[in-house]
Amino acid sequence: MTAAAIELKSISKSFGPVQANKDISIQVQPGTIHGIIGENGAGKSTLMSILYGFYKADKGEVWINGKLTEIPDSQAAIAAGIGMVFQHFKLVENFTVLENIILGAEDGGLLRPSLAKARKSLKTLAAEYDLNVDPDARIDKIGVGMQQRVEILKALYRQADILILDEPTGVLTPAEADQLFRILDRLRSEGKTIVLITHKLREIMEYTDTVSVMRRGEMTATVKTAETSPEHLAELMVGRKVLLQVDKIPAKPAAPVLEIENLRVSDETGVERVKGINLTVRAGEILGIAGVAGNGQSELLEVLGGMRTGQGSIKLHGAPLPLTGSGANGRARRAAHIGHVPEDRQREGLIMDFHAWENVAFGYHRALEFQKGVLMDNAALRADTEAKMEKFDVRPPDPWLAAKNFSGGNQQKIVVAREIERNPDLLLVGQPTRGVDIGAIEFIHQQIVALRDQGKAVLLVSVELEEILSLADRVAVMFDGHIMGERQAAETDEKELGLLMAGMTAETA
């Protein structure tokens, strides 16, 4: 039997009091795709960062191709034949593809010969692995799918035999993700070893040979993918049975809460992103907006939330809401009982350096119960935050902790708690479970359904088709700023919606 491509022996790593990796041992066989799955904060990325020399393990050994290897920095990892594609790409945005590829792997002090050499070998690599990229394109002018290819090419240019990918499909459209997996398949057939870190069960089941499960810093199991099931893996991940299907009673749609007529929205550069759409959201129902990212859903959500101006008309309970001017802002929308869970919680939902209780106060800090004369009643705000944290099982339930110190799932729970607990008539939700672990997904979904069951209206925007199908009662598909069609969630499937998302109607498909 050949030596394992990677063997980790008893790796441990702590960040202060938090033990991110506890005594982890794992073997990755050469020429396979090895999945590592686990909830957010389970320690997957930490483990791989140790392997790539980004962090130093407190304890343990790394063996590469049967040799004990010291990896004190990324240079050593590259020398050992390891390449890594981080979740957040490490590319210089105003450099060209070629410049990014040679950065740190130049030959000699002058750029010209290095660039010429890289251009040639890029051609060979492109042919060999079907990885076509324009070498002279600037990184900020190409899409994320292309950027990811550049990252893969960077690793291959450095002659990596082991490729680690951290949550590679988080930013990709379904089509781009499929393409990525075709590339990975190709790489495997050329004898490369691939480690795939993800929290998506579907990817693990479809593409990996072996899968290791991590939970709270520990490796709970390593199994052959063919010999396991999604349910079994999910159980290993969270340590208890979870329902991937959202448990809900049929919706009882009542009077319209939100009526959108001929809404048009342009972005900063003047490009029209929402091109005259009509939608109605009724009390007691969840309307899901499906679509590939960048087809106008974000702009729709932002204009409803008062973050952007638009043209046309929107009515709440029959009364028109302003789309421009001083009445079109987040404060006015909240006063009208519209709650908004924005798509990007780190940029729009939270101030990462502020305490949890301050973040819970935002948007509602003018509420009378939090005022004490001209001052804010901070003690009341903290008590309020503690109550919300307990109800939403935010861990740790410490109002003094800065938002950035919570895991993704707990950050999202803070935002959702803030918006839902104000009991809005209409809740706008964008990507509620992006980068959130399974346990928190389930909880957040339950809270959204509970709000619906109280007779409130919910508008859900998500690029996760699975989420739309399980959570929404009615689905509208957006493509290029238009609504391609509306379906009852119970009467449609991924295939039909996928065609609509690609801009094809039943007639043209």
Partner 1 sequence: MDFLTLIQILDSSVRLATPLLLACLAGLFSERAGIFDIGLEGKMLMAAFFSAAIAALSGNAWLGLLAGIGSSLALAALHGVASITFRGNQLISGVAINFLAVGLTVLIAQDWFQQGGRTPSLLDGGRFSPIELPFAIGPTEAEAAGRPLSRLLVEAGPLQQAYSELISGHSILVYLSLLAVPLTAWVLFGTRFGLRLRAVGENPAAVDTAGVSVVALRFAAVGICGVLCGIAGAYLSTALQAGFVKEMSAGRGFIALAALIFAKWRPWYALGACLLFGLFQALELRPDVLEAIFQTKIQGQLLGALPYIMTVVILAGFVGKAVPPKAGGVPYVKER
Distance from C-alpha of 365 to C-alpha of 16, rounded to nearest angstrom: 34
3-state secondary structure of 485: strand
111 binds partner 1 (CB under 8 A): yes
Output 100 or 212, the one with its CB closest to partner 1.
100
3-state secondary structure of 180: helix
Q: How far is CA 398 from the centre of its chain?
A: 25
Task: List, edge to edge, every strand of the sheet that includes 59-64.
Answer: 18-28, 6-15, 59-64, 67-68
Residue 371 Cβ vs partner 1, minimum distance, rounded to whole Å: 35
**Candidate residues 68, 105, 116, 509; the one interacting with partner 1 per rule CB under 8 A:** 105
Closest CA to 172 of 144, 195, 212, 138: 144
- Within 4-33, which residues bind partner 1 (CB under 8 A)? 15
Angle value at C-alpha 496, between 490 and 497, nearest 5 degrees:
80
Residue 111 Cβ vs partner 1, minimum distance, rounded to whole Å: 6
Distance from C-alpha of 135 to C-alpha of 152, rounded to nearest angstrom: 14
DSSP 8-state class, residue 250: P
Query: Please, are residues 437 and 39 in contact by the beta-carbon 8 Å criterion?
Result: yes
Output 68 or 92, the one with its CB closest to partner 1.
92
Cα distances from 502 to residues 143, 211, 323, in angstroms, run 17, 32, 29
CB-count burial class (<10 Å; 0-12, 13-18, 19+) for 166: buried
Closest CA to 280 of 265, 292, 264, 262: 262
Residue 86 Cβ vs partner 1, minimum distance, rounded to whole Å: 7
Task: List, edge to edge, every strand of the sheet that includes 218-224.
Answer: 82-85, 162-166, 193-198, 33-38, 210-215, 218-224
Residue 289 Cβ vs partner 1, minimum distance, rounded to whole Å: 32
Closest CA to 469 of 498, 444, 492, 450: 492
Residue 62 Cβ vs partner 1, minimum distance, rounded to whole Å: 16
* Ramachandran bin of 71, using left for φ above 0, alpha for ψ from -120 to 50, beta for the remaining angles: beta
**Candidate residues 110, 226, 249, 271; the one interacting with partner 1 per rule CB under 8 A:** 110
Using the contact rule CB under 8 A, the part of the chain among 109-117, 130-138, 262-270, 336-344 near partner 1 is 109-117
Output 3 or 103, the one with its CB closest to partner 1.
103
Using the contact rule CB under 8 A, the part of the chain among 87-95, 225-233, 300-308, 364-372 near partner 1 is 87-95
**Candidate residues 84, 122, 341, 469; the one interacting with partner 1 per rule CB under 8 A:** 84
Distance from C-alpha of 11 to C-alpha of 50, rounded to nearest angstrom: 9
106 binds partner 1 (CB under 8 A): yes
Residue 78 Cβ vs partner 1, minimum distance, rounded to whole Å: 5
- Within 143-202, which residues bind partner 1 (CB under 8 A)? 154
**Candidate residues 10, 59, 104, 143; the one interacting with partner 1 per rule CB under 8 A:** 104
Output 54 or 181, the one with its CB closest to partner 1.
54
370 binds partner 1 (CB under 8 A): no
400 binds partner 1 (CB under 8 A): no
Max intra-chain CA distance, the chain: 76
Using the contact rule CB under 8 A, the part of the chain among 97-105, 228-236, 384-392, 417-425 near partner 1 is 97-105
**Candidate residues 6, 42, 78, 292; the one interacting with partner 1 per rule CB under 8 A:** 78
Output 11 or 468, the one with its CB closest to partner 1.
11
102 binds partner 1 (CB under 8 A): yes
Distance from C-alpha of 31 to C-alpha of 51, rounded to nearest angstrom: 18
Query: Please, are residues 257 and 315 in contact by the beta-carbon 8 Å criterion?
Result: no
70 binds partner 1 (CB under 8 A): no
112 binds partner 1 (CB under 8 A): yes
Interface map 49-68 toward partner 1 (x if CB under 8 A): ---x-xx-------------
Backbone phi and psi for residue 35, each to the nearest 5 degrees, phi listed first: -90, 140
Residue 367 Cβ vs partner 1, minimum distance, rounded to whole Å: 34
**Candidate residues 90, 120, 182, 252; the one interacting with partner 1 per rule CB under 8 A:** 90
Residue 104 Cβ vs partner 1, minimum distance, rounded to whole Å: 3
109 binds partner 1 (CB under 8 A): yes
350 binds partner 1 (CB under 8 A): no
Output 201 or 214, the one with its CB closest to partner 1.
214
Distance from C-alpha of 233 to C-alpha of 221, rounded to nearest angstrom: 9
Output 73 or 128, the one with its CB closest to partner 1.
73
Distance from C-alpha of 292 to C-alpha of 501, rounded to nearest angstrom: 6
Residue 41 Cβ vs partner 1, minimum distance, rounded to whole Å: 11
Output 79 or 380, the one with its CB closest to partner 1.
79
- Within 307-336, which residues bind partner 1 (CB under 8 A)? none
Backbone phi and psi for residue 179, each to the nearest 5 degrees, phi listed first: -65, -40
3-state secondary structure of 345: helix
Output 106 or 267, the one with its CB closest to partner 1.
106
75 binds partner 1 (CB under 8 A): yes
What tokens were used for 32? Answer: 């396979």
127 binds partner 1 (CB under 8 A): no
User: Which residues of the chain form contacts with partner 1 (CB under 8 A)?
Assistant: 15, 52, 54-55, 73-78, 84, 86, 90-95, 99-100, 102-106, 108-112, 114, 154
